[in-house]
Structure 1
Amino acid sequence: MRKLAFIYPGQGAQKAGMGADFYENSHMARELFDKAEEALDFELKKVCFEEDERLNLTEYTQPAMVAACLAMTRVLVEQGIRPDITAGLSLGEYAALAAAGALEEKDAILLVRKRGILMENAVPAGTGAMSAVLGMTGEDVEKAIREIADVTIANYNCPGQIVITGKAAAVKDAAEKLKTAGAKRIVPLNVSGPFHSPFLRTAGEELKKEIEKIHIHSLTIPYVANVTAKKVEQENEICDLLSKGVYSPVKWQQSVECMIEDGVDTFIEIGPGRTLSGFMKKINSQVTMHYISSWEDVKKVADAISEKT
């Protein structure tokens, strides 16, 4: 019997126009965007649907991404497609929690607005950096940077793609050492800070105070947490995991492996782009992978899922 996971991308996957076709074609998606915009302090639909420079600013990117992902999720669920488990890469974890029943959609969107502001303000602009390391294992990257202060691993994305984070000068030093150690390429990322590093611990602790103000519901299905790469079924674990998620490495590859070990054989990436689908090819090319980023994708995926049911 098929076991299905909904998975959600993180910051960096955003693109102008995301969710606009869902808004035009689905009253459920329209309702989500309209209600989210009422609750937020900026023009969400303008940021999502039009060319708007705010889309690439962390404090706007995060609520825009989660709103778009959840609007797409509503449409899938309306088609009768429901997940057995969810997960999301970094920011995507909030969409995953809403899809798993633990967070109200509005709470998830408002939380990541606060999360984005806290992350943006945690470290002065220009003092932090992140780079993708291509062609090395996580273990080899860990070994190579062990003696360099102020740089750590931010993401274990997939075999051959690890992201490092920390102070800008330290990330630059680490890049040189990693090239010597065998990295095929080092790609600096266009980000405003050293995300998922210990430098954001204060932001994570402040976020925890915000999370404690909202009601976290019992999970209707499990989700897999970035921090532990383990299945979570108890809502009392969620606040601490989300807080730590701001300043801890994202164990995405390990999270996917956890779901596959749990019997998941079909994944649907929900959100703009196909970042997670690309990672999946390197993590496990044997599973079935679908993606939803446009209105046209919905029918294709619904048909493919129904054929296997």
Structure 2
Amino acid sequence: MKLAILYAGQGSQHPGMGKDLYEAYPAFRAAFDAAALDFDLHSVCFEDPDGVLNQTEYTQPCMVAFAAGVTAVLQENGVKAEYLAGLSLGEYSALQAAGVFTAKQAVELAAYRGKAMADAAKGIDCGMTAVMNLDRDALAKCCEEASALGVVQICNYNCPGQLVIGGEKAAVEKAAELAKAAGARRCIPLKVSGPFHTRLMAPAGDALAKRFTTENFGEMKTPVLFNCLGHEKSAENSIPALLEKQVQSSVYMEDTLRRLGELGVTEILEVGPGKALSGFVKKTLGPDVPCTAVETAEELAAFLTKWKEAHA
């Protein structure tokens, strides 16, 4: 088994996520509780009584705390990935699993990133739309034509047949209209709070660059495939620079998955919540590379049993 672990991004969060894992696994609890935050992480993740979990500044640290907990359990049980990657925010979890960040550091950085992105989005009438069954070049031309009305870019290359555009609402709507005329099967507006992974997030990139000067980056012990590259970094790429770029650049998830296929990965584990990445894997790599999603204590226990049997 040549395993890659993928970490979910913002959008798959929901109240209750991680509660059963927190109760079942001491290692999950220790990692989940590692960070010092200005809100009650347990309350927001497990119950969300004030309905704030979907707000970026809360979503991001909650998702990374969940992932850090699962990573701790996987590592405690000897699960060793050959490669790591994550969708957008999930890249921080991948870097934490690789040893670049501690659990505390990753969650606190995610909280800072969430606030920086929320601040960058203030005052922008933004939109994001999923575009189905139109190739990259055709959609890029639609965005170029629509940019007369404002910023619009392809912000996510998710999998074959699924691209996402984002930016200023009027320009996004025009690009979607042009995409339908160019042959897109469907254009589905998404509920978002900011124009993520577009150049409108440059202020968030600047804020992260400043924060990174005060952070200690550990040695990367497992190769991470980076969102803004779609593959591993080269020696001249610095991780802080890639993370600064990531927040304001396209996420090349399809390219990342194809690269994992080229690297000979035979199995993928998606650390949730949710199963969005499993769908991307299936559409990109087909049935030859199975993807298992773990979100619950039961699913994690089943994966650990399977892992131990394969490595007995």
TM-score bracket relative to the smaller structure: over 0.9
Which residue of structure 2 lines up, in the alignment, with residue 252 of structure 1?
253
Q: Return the alpha-carbon distance in structure 2 between the equivalents of residues 137 and 299 of structure 1.
A: 40
Paired residues for 1:37-76 under 5 Å = 39-52=36-49, 53-76=51-74
In the alignment, is the contact (CA less than 8 A) between 1:5 and 1:84 conserved in 2? yes
Structure-2 residue corresponding to 1:288: 290
Task: Indicate the SS of the match to 1:146.
Answer: helix
Q: 1:200 to 1:47 in 2, by over 3 A?
A: same
Question: 1:83-120 CA deviation, whole Å, 9 max, x = no partner?
Answer: 11100000000000000111111111111111111111
Kindly state the Cα deviation for residue 235 of structure 1 after the two structures are TM-superposed. Answer: 9.7
- 1:19 correspondence with 2:18: yes
Give the root-mean-square deviation of aligned CA atoms: 1.5
Instruction: Tell me how many residue pairs correspond in the alignment.
Output: 306
Pairs within 5 Å for 1:140-179: 140-149=138-147, 150-179=151-180
Query: Displacement, 1:274?
Result: 0.4
Matching residue of 1:82 = 80
1: CA distance, partners of 2:310 / 2:33: 35
Give the partner amino acid of 1:33.
F
2:37 corresponds to which letter in structure 1? Answer: L
Q: Any idea what the Cα deviations from partners look like across 1:213-265, whole Å, max 9, x if unmatched? A: 11001111110000011213759610000000010000001011112211211
How far apart are residue 31 of structure 1 and its match?
1.4
Q: Which amino acid aligns with 2:44?
A: V
- SS of 1:55's equivalent in the other structure is coil
CA shift for structure 1 position 139? 2.4
TM-score, normalised relative to structure 2:
0.94
**What amino acid does structure 2 have at the position aligned with 1:296?**
E
Displacement of 1:75: 1.2
AA matched with 2:300? V
Contact persistence 1:219–1:233 (CA under 8 A): no
Alignment of 1:231-242 (within 5 A): 231-232=232-233, 237-242=238-243
Give the conservation status (yes or no) of the 8 Å contact 2:230–2:252. yes
5+ unaligned residues in a row in structure 1: which ranges? none
> Displacement, 1:140?
2.3
| Structure 1 Cα separation of the partners of residues 15 and 99 of structure 2 | 28
Residues of 1 paired with 2:260 and 2:308: CA distance? 21
CA displacement at 1:69 relative to structure 2 = 1.0
The answer to whether the 8 A contact 2:145-2:175 is kept is no
Letter in 2 for 1:30: R
Aligned equivalents of 1:143, 1:40: Cα separation in 2: 43
Code of the residue aligned with 2:266 in structure 1: it is D
**Alpha-carbon separation, structure 1, partners of 2:71 and 2:222:** 15
Mean Cα displacement is larger for which, 181-190 or 155-164? 181-190
User: Is the 8 Å Cα contact of residues 14 and 55 (structure 1) preserved in structure 2?
Assistant: yes
The CA distance in 2 between the partners of 1:91 and 1:301, in whole Å, is 24
Percentage of pairs with the same residue: 42
Equivalents in 1 of 2:21, 2:61: separation in Å? 17
Q: Greater CA deviation, 58-67 or 210-219?
A: 210-219
Matches of 2:261 and 2:237, distance apart in 1: 25
AA paired with 1:275? A
Q: For structure 1, which segment, 227-236 or 138-147, has the greater mean C-alpha deviation from structure 2 after superposition?
A: 227-236
Q: Indicate the residue corresponding to 1:193 in structure 2.
A: 194
Cα distance between partner residues in 2 of 1:6 and 1:232: 17
Residue range with higher mean Cα deviation, 72-81 or 113-122: 72-81
Structure 1 contact 129–166 (Cα < 8 Å) conserved: yes
State the distance in 2 between where 1:125 and 1:28 align. 41
Which letter does structure 2 place at the counterpart of 1:269? E
Please give the alpha-carbon distance, in whole angstroms, between the structure 2 residues aligned to 1:95 and 1:234. 21
Which AA in structure 1 matches 2:260?
A: M
Instruction: Check conservation: 1:59, 1:117, Cα contact below 8 A.
Output: yes
What is the identity, as a one-letter code, of the residue corresponding to 1:40? Answer: L
Q: Is 2:90 the counterpart of 1:92?
A: yes
Aligned-residue offset at 1:137:
2.1
Which secondary structure does the structure 2 equivalent of 1:170 belong to?
helix
**Code of the aligned partner of 2:301:** K
